[in-house]
Amino acid sequence: MSSTVTVRPARGVRGIGMLSIIAGIILILAGVAVWVVVSTTLSDENITVSEDADMFAGQQVAGPFTAYAQAEVIDEHALEMADGQTYAELDREDPVRASVMDASFLRASLFTSVVAFGVCALVIGLGLMFILVGAALRRLAGGPAVAVETPGTTSAGGLSAAPRHSATPPPDAAAPPARPTTRPADPPSVGGRADTPPA
């Protein structure tokens, strides 16, 4: 036995989808703006990747990859000056300690810009995801109400359960057996007439 159910889009879904799209646009704009600010700040420092760098040698530091390459070169140079020792391992009276400290600060600054670029990329990616999710929600909520015919309930064995009370029997059902009557037989007749009670 089946029934028809009308499915209507949930209220407010289109509004949530629009809010998601707006939030995605804001995230993308914020990520791009911060990326530009960090890149411009690095470019204003006029830092050039050292010639002995493994990659981007001679290029101006203005992005995450060039900043990372220059930070790695600074670390190599600092270790060479300190014979493989870090700033914390050098003696306080060692004259090289001040140069190694400056190198550590420069590396930290460059790595901070690399992290900033990574956060910007993450925010831009999240903005794109918000826009896609918002568009999908609006598309799903924009459809008309749909009438869906659901199948009958099933029993534990997986077969359709018969209705408990049926107005008409199924056409292939066998006819019920005749019921015996309990009516008493006709009274005996006398002379071809049935006896009548006295008046």
Q: What digits encode the pLDDT tens for the residues 53-87?
A: 888 888 999 999 999 999 999 989 888 888 888 88
Q: Residue 84 falls within a domain, yes or no?
A: yes
Q: Residue 162 falls within a domain, yes or no?
A: no
How many domains in the chain?
1
Encode 133-151 in three state secondary structure: HHHHHHHHHCCCCEEEEEC
Q: Residue 92 falls within a domain, yes or no?
A: yes
Domain span including residue 97: 3-145
**DSSP H/E element including 79:** helix 64-81
pLDDT tops 70 at residue 14:
yes
Q: Residue 78 falls within a domain, yes or no?
A: yes
106 three-class SS: helix
60 three-class SS: strand
Report phi then psi at 96, rounded to 5: -80, -15
Q: Residue 158 falls within a domain, yes or no?
A: no
Residues 35-50 have a mean pLDDT of: 92
Contacts of 25 (CB under 8 A, 6+ apart): 127, 131
Q: Residue 164 falls within a domain, yes or no?
A: no
Q: Residue 82 falls within a domain, yes or no?
A: yes
Using the Cα atoms of residue 68, residue 74, residue 80 and residue 84 in order, give the sign of their dihedral: negative
Q: Residue 73 falls within a domain, yes or no?
A: yes
